[in-house]
């Protein structure tokens, strides 16, 4: 396959003649002139392949990554260790080049990979059924909200302000065009204000969305939220960090109806922001409301184990108005990497990752707050992220940490103006005692 196919003037003329156009500009006649660039692209002179490779490497070297920096940044994307086998297997051509199975029954390998992924997501969450994955955690959460609206036949969704700010933005964008009212519940000491939730939930509430561990790393009181939600006959949607399920109760044990989350931490690199994958799991009762596709297991004519697309309720397979959603593809390669990661670690391994992350996060918290210069922002149990505050601007702290090759925390006032100088730090199993001690030492001086 050619990376670039040059077109001569003769080629262009031939193509224009075949469609009855006089010039390239005619192809853009429907775009108003004031919206067009109306100049040449600002590009350097042509380069040879060798020159271009060197130029692109020079540009890419301006980025700093987790190979160069010690990472204490989380806020939805996490620097967990990825066993080498994950990329080694995922980069095999039969996986790496596979696309969505339009003729599913002859794509047995692809279907089995998805089936195994679904099975492990169900084991992890305790739910009865999982789909083949979604674009990312935010769109998975939106689809769950739409499932709740469709199932409950109600017109509003309640979401906690402790849910990831970007997820809440995506929810508001989608719901605006579906005439669904989005109501946000305030927080109290970094967790969902349960009294406010009781006062806001009503007969129009289709579902309640709670993140636990939430954006601040705090473990929410899902037991009480479940009572409030189900007494109102609304659906409970839990946005969750899958790594936390190695040591915390599964969502199904709390009576959650739909579980969603970002699956990046399951064997997927940070990738400068993507691609990631969203996971979704629910009860058998809600199975037919799920978007995307579900792979099932069966037997072929010879009685051997075989895989089929059990449900494919999307517009490419059925009439558009009957589709549960217009989401078109699952993140097949990312889900495969998640499946390899979960298989490699197993139950004990995942528990160890979660356990180490928790212990190290609490050690870092103690080291940073012992002098009193940095104070806890909240007084709640947390998993692997915690928020602290001080008299120094968080942006200044991060700038100085960077000078010591440390990628600092998330500046909370970007999304929560009331949390001025708040810094959200994350500690995964990759961080060593020496790295945490250095973080505390540098911050102490700041």
Task: Tell me the three-class secondary structure of 157-194, residue by residue.
Answer: EEEECCCCHHHHHHHHHHHHCCCCEEEEECEECCEECH
| pLDDT average, residue stretch 308-320 | 67
| Residue ranges matching CATH 3.90.1150.10 in the chain | 70-81+346-445
Phi/psi of residue 14, nearest 5 degrees? -65, -45
| Residue ranges matching CATH 3.40.640.10 in the chain | 84-342
Q: Report the pLDDT value the prediction gives residue 149, as an integer from 0 to 100.
A: 97
Q: Report the pLDDT value the prediction gives residue 3, as an integer from 0 to 100.
A: 61
Phi/psi of residue 154, nearest 5 degrees? -125, 170
Angle, CA 222 vertex, CA 201 and CA 159 arms, to 5°: 40
User: pLDDT (tens digit, 9 = 90+) per residue, 253-295?
Assistant: 999 999 999 999 999 999 999 999 999 999 999 998 998 888 9
In the structure encoding, which two tokens stand for residue 418, read together?
């009331």
Residue 211 DSSP code: E
What is the residue whose two structure tokens read 């579906």? Answer: 178
Does 316 score more than 60 pLDDT? no
User: pLDDT (tens digit, 9 = 90+) per residue, 166-185?
Assistant: 999 999 999 999 999 999 99
Q: Report the pLDDT value the prediction gives residue 318, as an integer from 0 to 100.
A: 56
Q: What is the CATH number of domain 84-342?
A: 3.40.640.10
* CATH 3.30.43.10, domain 70-81+346-445, yes or no: no
In the structure encoding, which two tokens stand for residue 199, read together?
């006062």
- pTM for the predicted model, two decimal places: 0.89
Q: Report the pLDDT value the prediction gives residue 319, as an integer from 0 to 100.
A: 61
Does 309 score more than 90 pLDDT? no
């Amino acid at each position: 396959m050619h990376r670039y196919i040059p077109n001569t003037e003769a080629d262009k003329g031939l193509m224009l003649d075949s469609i009855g156009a006089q010039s390239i500009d005619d192809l853009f006649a429907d775009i108003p002139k004031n919206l067009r660039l109306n100049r040449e692209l600002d590009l350097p002179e042509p380069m040879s392949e060798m020159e271009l490779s060197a130029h692109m490497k020079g540009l890419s070297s301006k980025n700093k990554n987790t190979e160069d920096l010690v990472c204490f940044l989380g806020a939805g994307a996490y620097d967990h260790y990825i066993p080498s086998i994950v990329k080694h297997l995922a980069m095999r051509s039969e996986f790496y080049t596979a696309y969505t199975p339009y003729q599913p029954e002859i794509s047995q390998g692809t279907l089995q990979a998805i089936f195994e992924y679904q099975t492990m997501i169900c084991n992890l969450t305790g739910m009865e059924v999982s789909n083949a994955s979604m674009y990312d955690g935010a769109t998975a959460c939106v689809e769950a909200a739409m499932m709740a609206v469709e199932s409950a036949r109600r017109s509003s969704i309640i979401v906690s302000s402790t849910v990831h700010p970007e997820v809440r933005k995506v929810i508001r964008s989608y719901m605006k065009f579906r005439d669904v009212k989005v109501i946000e519940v305030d927080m109290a000491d970094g967790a969902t204000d349960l009294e406010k939730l009781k006062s806001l939930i009503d007969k129009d509430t289709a579902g309640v969305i709670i993140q636990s561990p939430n954006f601040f790393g705090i473990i929410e009181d899902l037991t009480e939220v479940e009572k409030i939600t189900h007494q109102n006959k609304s659906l409970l949607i839990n946005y969750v960090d899958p790594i936390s399920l190695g040591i915390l109760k599964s969502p199904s044990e709390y009576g959650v109806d739909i579980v969603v989350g970002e699956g990046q931490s399951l064997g997927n690199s940070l990738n400068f922001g993507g691609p990631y994958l969203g996971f979704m799991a629910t009860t058998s009762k809600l199975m037919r409301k799920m978007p995307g596709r579900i792979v099932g297991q069966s037997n072929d004519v010879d009685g051997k184990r075989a895989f089929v697309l059990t449900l494919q309720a999307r517009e490419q397979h059925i009439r558009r108005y009957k589709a549960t959603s217009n989401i078109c593809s699952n993140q097949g390669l990312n889900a495969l990497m998640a499946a390899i990661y979960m298989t490699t670690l197993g139950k004990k391994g995942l528990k160890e990752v979660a356990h180490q992350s928790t212990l190290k996060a609490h050690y870092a918290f103690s080291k940073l707050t012992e002098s009193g210069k940095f104070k806890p922002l909240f007084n709640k149990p947390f998993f692997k992220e915690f928020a602290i505050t001080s008299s120094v601007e968080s942006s200044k702290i991060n700038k100085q940490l960077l000078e010591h090759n440390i990628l600092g925390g998330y500046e909370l006032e970007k999304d929560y103006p009331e949390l001025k100088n708040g810094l959200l730090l994350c500690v995964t199993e990759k961080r060593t005692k020496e790295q945490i001690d250095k973080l505390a030492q540098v911050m102490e001086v700041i």
